[in-house]
Chains A and B, each alone.
Chain A
Amino acid sequence: MEYVLQTSGLTKMFGKKAAVSDLNMNVRQGDIYGFIGKNGAGKTTFIRMISGLARPSKGEIQLFESSDLVNQRKRTGTMIENPAVYPNMTARQNLYYYCRMLGLNPEGTIDEMLSLVGLTDTGKKKAKNFSLGMKQRLAIAVALLGDPEFLMLDEPINGLDPTGIKEVRELILRLNRERKITILISSHILGELSKIANRYGVINNGILVDEFSSQELTNRCAGELEVKVDNVQGAADVLSQNLNIQSFKIVDGNTIRIQKEINNAGQINMELAKNGILVSSSMVVGQDLEGYFMQLMNQPAINYQTV
């Protein structure tokens, strides 16, 4: 089995508005898939459809390469939006409730889960008196009951302080490494996701605008060589034909941005000059993850021109 989640043309309409539109996503086994999008982009709606809480208006879902979703969902764990726990029960009682529901032996299971999420010393404290981070971790423990192979976490770091964020991040990494759980994690904080995810999907206004690996993200955020020339079309020809550079984009009538060639700035300038193209400036322009995210949000797709 290669994929734990595949969607094809998945759409959810609320009235005439598409919350999720024609979304195709593939999550491979073992991935930590970062699902990025600003608030209201459609992340939660997408996860709700996958977990059976909302009915798709159109499209198909496959879990573990099967369309028998009712049975396959038993192999998944979900935490959507706010941590859903019974406030008048302790952490142990909450887990006991779900152990009964799933037919698990509470002996051992509860202690193991509490230890895994770091809630062993909560004693008789009721969940309503937990901090948000503790509630999040308890909700993750609930999602982990029954040894799921695929975990969907919707905004698990929302509202957490830096310590809480670090704890949840370390927990997710541990689950992926030690328990081999595939994880789909949604967030609008790309900087945080970039510390754990190895694949990314970016959703904006219900449309999946881009999908890339962590290596691709690194490359895209590594910076670009921005060259200002008097003849941008001529420069594009020189880059593609003389230097065999395929990945660049023409920004405007005088500016061209070249990817992955920061170290070859001298050679590029020389080749352009040799071919009669006047280079007025040449510099490295970089962007951080957040900047890249903002670019994706404002621009539906990156139009790197491949000649």
Chain B
Amino acid sequence: MGKLLRSDFYRLFRSKSFYICTTIVSALLCLSIFMEKWALKVATTQLEGMEGLPSTLRFKDGISYGLIAFTGGDIQMFIAIFSAIFITSEFVHGTMKNTISKGYHRALVYASKLITMIAALFIMIFVLFIASVIAGTIVTGEFGTFTAATVGELFSIIGIEMLLYTALTALFVMIAMIVRNNGGVIAINILGVISFGTLIFSLLEYLFDSKIKFTEFSIQYNISQFYMSMDLSSSTYIRALIVGLVYLIVSTGIGIFAFSKSDIK
């Protein structure tokens, strides 16, 4: 397993698309922070007195903006694209044949790809955090401080958000390992999971006459809960924790089963 991870990490850090995706997602987030500042400036100078316009920025300092990296941004879409590129290329170029024919257990090969993708996600989020802290500090003029009371709360939020993103990544990896076609996987990841995912849950809720709150069990819903507010009930934390774990375990289980049973071309 260690050897497989070493080789997959080597490929990850040699992958141009990894750097491109990380750079673009960071640039987009920084741009949105600067745009917010610019919009506020326009509003205060030209449209003074008009009701409904924001009078202050959403966050007061760089660290607060940095937290967007964990709770918002376009990271979902970019990890969906990158996981599709990274994993399907093994099938497109036929290199997966080399790995399997060297006698590695398929479950280990799958686990190695999943761990590599999770590591890529964490690196992306870390870079995004640094970039947004810098942009936020420039925009607000304040870096921000941590108080002992908020640190614990922040870590629990970040931990759950990371778990939810990990679960989402596991879902993307499962799709990539089953479908194996680059374009198809990107389409399913973006349209199927990110865009239509919530829609499907809403439809299910409608079919059951809202007796079961299906939407509360979607990953996107749970991720967005922390984006909208940091002051959440313990039941929200527990639900997000359960949703994350269930998605992670189920999609990994299905992925390993399907990969182990299928032929490799």
Contact = CB atoms under 8 A, between A and B. Distances in A.
A93 B98 contact: no
A16 B76 CA distance: 42
Interface footprint category on B: 20 to 34
A81 B265 CA distance: 10
Interface stretch (B59-67, B89-97, B205-213): B89-97
Contacts of B264: 48, 53-54
Nearest to B112: A101
B7 A52 contact: no
Interface string B151-191: 00000000000000000000000000000000000000000
A69 B10 CA distance: 28
A300 interface: no
Given A100-B6, A101-B7, A101-B102, A53 B97 contact: yes
Contact of B105 (A70, A77, A81, A96): A70
Interface string A78-91: 10111111111100
B51 interface: no
A146 B94 contact: no
A102 B7 CA distance: 9
Nearest to B261: A55
A53 B11 contact: no
A85 B93 contact: yes
A80 B102 contact: no
A98 B7 contact: yes
A107 to B, nearest CB: 15
A86 B94 contact: no
Contacts of A70: 103, 105
B99 interface: yes
Given A53-B101, A146-B102, A100 B7 contact: yes
Interface residues of A, number: 36
B90 to A, nearest CB: 9
Nearest to A80: B97
A98 B96 CA distance: 12
Given A84-B98, A97-B7, A55 B263 contact: yes
A101 B99 contact: yes
A84 B68 CA distance: 41
B93 A87 contact: yes
Contact of A78 (B16, B93, B97, B105): B97
B152 to A, nearest CB: 39
Interface in A161-198: none
B263 A73 contact: no
Interface in B41-95: 89, 93-95
A101 B100 contact: no
A108 interface: no
A204 B6 CA distance: 42
A142 interface: yes
Contacts of B10: 96-97, 100
B99 A48 contact: no
Contacts of B16: 88
A86 B95 contact: yes
A25 to B, nearest CB: 18
Nearest to A47: B101
Interface in A123-137: none
B101 A100 contact: no
Nearest to B94: A84
19 contacts: A48-B263, A51-B100, A53-B263, A53-B265, A70-B103, A70-B105, A71-B103, A73-B102, A76-B101, A82-B94, A84-B94, A84-B95, A85-B93, A85-B95, A87-B93, A88-B14, A100-B6, A102-B102, A142-B98
Interface of B: 3-4, 6-7, 10-11, 14, 16, 89, 93-95, 97-103, 105, 261, 263-265
Given A52-B103, A76-B103, A80-B94, 9 more contacts: A51-B101, A55-B261, A77-B101, A82-B94, A85-B93, A86-B93, A88-B16, A101-B102, A142-B98
- The 8 tightest CB contacts between A and B, nearest first, are A84-B94, A73-B103, A101-B7, A51-B101, A78-B101, A54-B263, A74-B103, A100-B7
